[in-house]
Structure 1
């Protein structure tokens, strides 16, 4: 029997990860139109909360060139808004960046590819392990809100795959679990309750579940392999592998990933 997704109440508070909670969007039978509306809402939510502009400016843009193509893989790309933003920012800066988004969920890929095409942006239905098996390599590997979805085996597989796939940098960004983050999101999404959630039916409940499932910085640091480190940002944690550590961490693996 599939676990039933719980909403804003948590029987044990936020002292530990609520790994038993299941997000509504992860149900293959969830409402298709509601899912599309939620993907649209993520464009704004990720722009405001996910912090990828900061990561792009500080981490990714210094690796880019106007003359040489840099490749980037977005694992668990969902509706594609983060991948799309990175491609647009690089183009606006006159830098060459080829972005590939992968997701194992056909619904996510269908939505991402239904939006207007951008040069140097592609999407594919795949797991990270599929790309490892075919010998693919990218300069940069990222994910947004993927880690908290994964059980320990899948998480470790994604981290190992990322080290194999990346030449220069890996950044897996996720929510930092805290009472402050939970309260802020609860208040920020109240308008969706008043509007009957029709505009984006999964945003509020799934977002609160995501916070409960997410790691604190200390918890994430405890499960990262050697060479990785945790960096903090407002309401965010980043699992980072870069420089020489990318080369040192490369070992064959075949882990899976999940949708953001």
Structure 2
């Protein structure tokens, strides 16, 4: 597998509006396990997000753009509640299938919308912090610039976009490690396609430009950060 060049033309099976609904829902449910294992949000919370939340008037308002089935909000809400932080969590995803899965989680203190960033901006929404998980690699170059600019306009304080770092080792380890969780889902096929579509650190740094900074808080992950401008 040649991973030297980002494959922008791949499409993930679960993005197809006509994909198998049962496999899709099984995939969304298991994202909680997968993201807990590989996405690094526990580390991002401890090293970045917790400090930001503590500096804000309570309740802080956090938006997850492209929130999928709501598992990232679910985890972060648990971590912030453990630290006795009062946070209003909002998830937004334009896919009604993901929105329905997120609402079904019934996460205390969380609200979900079937909407994209443009709809939230049009509605005059402003949040303290905007985050996303596994969104950037889905986007074309023009979509990437639009999405990241919109996320800054929605945030008054900080924006944190987390995604996969493309690499041969990540590809090989994921191909093996995901196998027990993959039956009946799109996890293996779409996960491997995601890695092939993802950026390397210098690629994402170049694509985003100033004032974005890109780091690797945990292995095989990228975190793009910028100040809000709402």
For residue 189 of structure 1, the aligned residue among 175, 178, 181 is 178
For residue 32 of structure 2, the aligned residue among 36, 43, 47 is 43
Deviations 1:26-65 (A, max 9, x none): 0101111111111111110000100001111111111224
Give the SS at the match of 1:64.
helix
Q: Matched residue pairs, number?
A: 228
Q: How far has the Cα of 1:192 moved from its partner?
A: 4.9
Give the SS at the match of 2:23.
helix
**Cα distance in structure 2, aligned partners of 1:138 and 1:220:** 24
Q: Does 1:102 align with 2:92?
A: yes
Deviations 1:225-250 (A, max 9, x none): 321111113100111013xxx34xx6
- TM-score normalised by length of structure 2: 0.95
Residues 30 and 181 in structure 2, CA contact (< 8 A), matched pair in contact too: no
Residues 64 and 92 in structure 2, CA contact (< 8 A), matched pair in contact too: yes
Query: Which range moved further: 209-218 or 154-163?
Result: 154-163
For residue 21 of structure 2, the aligned residue among 28, 32, 39 is 32
Q: Which has the higher helix share?
A: 2
Residues 7 and 196 in structure 2, CA contact (< 8 A), matched pair in contact too: yes
**Cα distance in structure 2, aligned partners of 1:67 and 1:130:** 26
Query: Which range moved further: 15-24 or 173-182?
Result: 15-24
- TM-score normalised by length of structure 1: 0.84
Residues 67 and 96 in structure 1, CA contact (< 8 A), matched pair in contact too: no
**Cα distance in structure 2, aligned partners of 1:189 and 1:90:** 28
Q: In terms of Rg, which structure is larger?
A: 1
Deviations 1:98-146 (A, max 9, x none): 110000000000111112x233201000010111122211111000000
**Cα distance in structure 2, aligned partners of 1:185 and 1:34:** 19
**Cα distance in structure 2, aligned partners of 1:131 and 1:108:** 17
Identify if the C-alpha distance between structure 1 residues 69 and 204 changes in structure 2 by more than 3 Å, giving closer, same or farther.
same
Deviations 1:42-101 (A, max 9, x none): 110000100001111111111224972100000000010001111121112111111100
**Cα distance in structure 1, aligned partners of 2:107 and 2:18:** 30
Q: RMSD of aligned C-alpha atoms?
A: 1.5
For residue 210 of structure 1, the aligned residue among 194, 217, 220 is 194
Q: Which residue of 2 aligns with 1:4?
A: none
Give unmatched runs, 5+ long, in structure 2: none
**Cα distance in structure 2, aligned partners of 1:40 and 1:129:** 27
Give unmatched runs, 5+ long, in structure 1: 1-9, 251-260
Residues 38 and 203 in structure 1, CA contact (< 8 A), matched pair in contact too: yes
